[in-house]
Amino acid sequence: KQEVTQIPAALSVPEGENLVLNCSFTDSAIYNLQWFRQDPGKGLTSLLLIQSSQREQTSGRLNASLDKSSGRSTLYIAASQPGDSATYLCAVRLFQGGSEKLVFGKGTKLTVNP
Amino acid sequence: SAVISQKPSRDICQRGTSLTIQCQVDSQVTMMFWYRQQPGQSLTLIATANQGSEATYESGFVIDKFPISRPNLTFSTLTVSNMSPEDSSIYLCSVRAQETQYFGPGTRLLVL
């Protein structure tokens, strides 16, 4: 059974700091991995998608890496801003028995202090 | 990309009653997914809904409790039946467009 773990569960940093969020998964047979952002009381916003054959993806101040063999992904946020405060979720996509599903971690709650 | 809307955005319900959540997508999609996010927890897949066929439910979820309709390629409903306080959660509709997963804004349900 695939399990996704995110460390730390919560993180508080001053504005301007660079930071790394971690995601690990137990089964390397994934199709892709996606990072999301969730603001309080809201749905999920897709940030970055990494295919299983890729090593990293970048969008603006965000960079996500994937090491499929070791079951790890990181989300790097450069020059953090108060507007980055949210919960960040990673999810791996699996294909099992003809169906597909996303398995989510519990998220990292990020607070960026002005 | 895909833009997803859900109704209602939130509701407070009495135990024993049922609530139907609607999900509308701005483009035609083969599969629509329903997730539940319990307080303080991450997302758990309830079922996958294909147009014209029965929904496929994940372990721990049954059709009698969470009936799903999928009448066309842009719309789906999820009903939470015979509700109890343990059903208090955020319910999210989701689709996959190309390789990316998109989510609706969620329906926040509180059962008293």
Q: Is the pLDDT of residue A99 over 80?
A: no
Q: Say yes or no: A69 contacts chain B, CB-CB below 8 A.
A: no
pLDDT value of position B51 = 82
Nearest CA in chain B to A46: B102
pLDDT tens for B34-88 read 999 998 888 999 999 988 888 999 999 999 999 999 999 999 999 999 999 999 9
In this complex, which of A46, A100, A106 lies closest to B42 when CB atoms are compared? A106
- Picking from B85, B112, B12, B37, the residue whose alpha carbon sits closest to that of residue A42 is B37
pLDDT value of position B77 = 96
Complete DSSP assignment for A51-99: ETT-SEEEETTEEEEEETTTTEEEEEE-S--GGG-EEEEEEEEEEETTE
Q: Is the pLDDT of residue B4 over 90?
A: yes
pLDDT value of position B50 = 87
Q: Is the pLDDT of residue A40 over 90?
A: no
In this complex, which of B31, B42, B108 lies closest to A107 when CB atoms are compared? B42
pLDDT tens for B12-22 read 999 999 999 99
pLDDT value of position B46 = 96
Q: Say yes or no: B108 contacts chain A, CB-CB below 8 A.
A: yes
Subunit contact B56:A105, Cβ cutoff 8 A? no
Chain A hits for B94, Cβ within 8 Å: 102
In this complex, which of A41, A43, A99 lies closest to B92 when CB atoms are compared? A43
pLDDT band for position B23 (cuts 50, 70, 90): very high
Q: Which of A37-41, B7-11, B104-108 has the lowest mean pLDDT?
A: A37-41
Chain B hits for A42, Cβ within 8 Å: 105-106
Chain B hits for A89, Cβ within 8 Å: 42-43
Residue A98 amino acid letter: G
In this complex, which of B33, B42, B100 lies closest to A46 when CB atoms are compared? B100
